[in-house]
Chains A and B, each alone.
Chain A
Amino acid sequence: MRPYRSLFLMSLRRMLTYRLNALIGWLGGAAILISSLAVWNALLRNGDIGGYDWETMKGYLLIAWAMSAVGTSYGDWHMANRIRDGAVATDLTKPVDYQSARFAEQLGGLAFELVAIVVAALAVIVFTGGIPAPAGLGQGLLFALSFAMVVPLKFIIWYITTMVCFWTQNYLGVAWARDAVVWVFSGGLIPLSLMPSWLGSLAAALPFAGLAATPAALYLGQASGTEAWKLLAVQAFWLITLWLGARLLWRGALRALTVHGG
């Protein structure tokens, strides 16, 4: 446990040193939130769309944005670049589990992301007159549970796609394609219920829904009771499956690394 704790602390400390950089990153993230709020505000001006009114959509957008902010301070590029420039060799000589170690690093940035999320939430309250509260204490707790799973789930998806770097030099296209796919199927682009039904059903079967759509649905009370537990179960299922799948992939990655040399 100790090495992971130190990695976590080191990552946290690193975030503190680069806090000015982080602040600047927040501005960019804020722009994305602001623009999506502006677009939906405009779209919903003349009435509901698909059961979403402005109040609900505000909440949805904020949650989706918050979920997308998680894991971005360390980001996948940090890991990707280390593989691409060979610095990963040092990582591999350490007596820690590579996967868990990267996760510990990610968590170090989480504190900052949470601060950013709180600040954003406050700003939205101030400038748009409030955000919806969780639809009841029970829903709130379910949301918290889902959020707790979003953190590792997001990590494992990023981690798996980053491993592509063991096989290829250029990570940019892969990262973009993954971002596009995740954006759609997590409900970040548009709430899943507003998408054409065939896409919506596909999304429900994929792991990405657990990244934004599920926590949002729980918070806004759109899913409760058995429906809620079903969503949580799917989220957990994907988390476990991907976490284990990553380990298998890892063995292949190591083989690829030694073949390519230093």
Chain B
Amino acid sequence: MYRRSLGAHIRSILEYQADFWVLVLAGVLFQGLNLLFLSAVFNHVPTLNGWTYAESILLMGMWGMIGGLVPLFFEGMWGLAWRINQGELDYPLVRPLPVPAQVFSSAVGLHGFGDLIGGGAMLGWALFHIDVEWTPLTVLIGLVLFASAIAIHVSIVTITNAASFWIPGPHPFFAVTVHTFEDMIKYPLTIYGIGMRAVYTVVVPFAFVTFFPVSWLLGRDAGWVGLLTPLVAVYCVWMARLVFRAGLRRYESSGH
């Protein structure tokens, strides 16, 4: 059913075919910018706090892949603020489907295809150039961590957008602001000061979206923390459900 809803939206957008390609191009460009920045910096410095070029590209590529997959499947949450403001949650609430699922699937960010291409290219290249012992177990754990990272990111997007249940207004400014800060995890966390690292680990678990899983894969010192990612994911998803449900109880619809 989720798939059908998504499909409906993809078909909606494909009404405008030229725009599809422009969006994909924009996605590729966006990832290209990230790559450009990192490459330019590495032209001037040999490592980033012990992280090599390939390792940094791996991190950035993972973030790019997430930035591609999530908009394709979960974009609708960014429209929550507008929906609350317009009273457009009324119909979803009278349908026999979970509301978050309906909200998520109500929009598709087609630029995600472009992000997948760009991010995927970075990830693919990096995987060939890093020093990792690949075993079936490593691959399995890697995939689990990747899925957990996505769950954490989607939960954060949900919670920050759900703030609109408490802070009225048609724009999810809080969620956008938090996302801007989250974007900083495309660089190795170790470059930041201890304060920021603490906040990004404990207060809002951004670091578990890219840094810790990749640290584990690369076998770095504190890499074992990466294995906690699935637990963090469970916690985040649980929090997201709690917050969203609390928000729905507060929902007042609009005058009509």
Binding site for B on A (CB under 8 A): 21, 24-25, 27-28, 31-32, 34-35, 38-39, 42-43, 45-46, 49-50, 168-170, 172-174, 176-177, 180-181, 183-184, 189-190, 194-196, 199
* Contact A39:B187 (CB < 8 A) given known A24-B171, A195-B40: yes
Contact residues, B13-52 vs A (CB, 8 A): 16, 18-19, 21-23, 25-26, 29-30, 32-33, 36-37, 39-41, 43-45, 48
Stretch from B144-152, B176-184, B213-221, B227-235 that touches the partner: B176-184
A250 to chain B, nearest CB (A): 22
Residue contact A27 to B173, C-beta cutoff 8 Å: yes
Q: Tell me if A28 and B183 are in contact (CB < 8 A).
A: no
- A46 vs B43: C-alpha distance in the bound complex, in angstroms? 15
Supplied contacts A38-B192, A180-B32, 17 more A-B pairs, CB within 8 Å = A21-B169, A24-B173, A31-B181, A35-B181, A43-B191, A170-B18, A170-B19, A170-B22, A173-B23, A176-B30, A177-B25, A177-B29, A184-B33, A184-B36, A189-B36, A195-B36, A196-B39
Closest Cβ of chain B: how far from A226's Cβ, in Å?
Answer: 28
Distance A30 CA – B180 CA, assembled complex (angstroms): 10
| 25 A-B residue pairs with CB within 8 Å | A28-B173, A28-B176, A32-B180, A38-B184, A43-B45, A45-B191, A46-B45, A49-B41, A168-B16, A170-B16, A170-B19, A172-B19, A172-B23, A176-B23, A177-B25, A177-B29, A180-B29, A180-B32, A184-B33, A189-B33, A189-B36, A190-B36, A190-B37, A194-B43, A194-B44
Quick check: is B196 within 8 A (CB to CB) of the other chain?
A: yes
* Inter-subunit contact A174/B41 (CB<8 Å): no
Q: How far is the CA of A169 from the CA of B18 in the complex (A)?
A: 10
| Interface of A (DSSP majority class) | helix
Q: Is B153 an interface residue (CB 8 A)?
A: no
Residues A28 and B40 in contact, CB atoms below 8 Å apart:
no
B interface residue count range (under 10 / 10 to 19 / 20 to 34 / 35 or more):
35 or more
A-B pairs with CB below 8 Å: how many? Answer: 96
- How far is B180's CA from A76's CA once the two chains are assembled, in angstroms? 21
Residues in chain B near residue A42, CB distance under 8 A? 187, 191-193
B19 touches A27 (CB 8 A): no
Partner of B43, one of A31, A38, A196: A196
Which residue of A34, A177, A190, A199 is within 8 Å of B41 (Cβ)?
A190
CA A25 – CA B169 in complex, angstroms? 12
- A25: chain B residues within 8 A (beta carbon): 173
CA distance A195 to B184 in the complex (A): 20
CA gap between A168 and B192 in the complex, in Å = 43
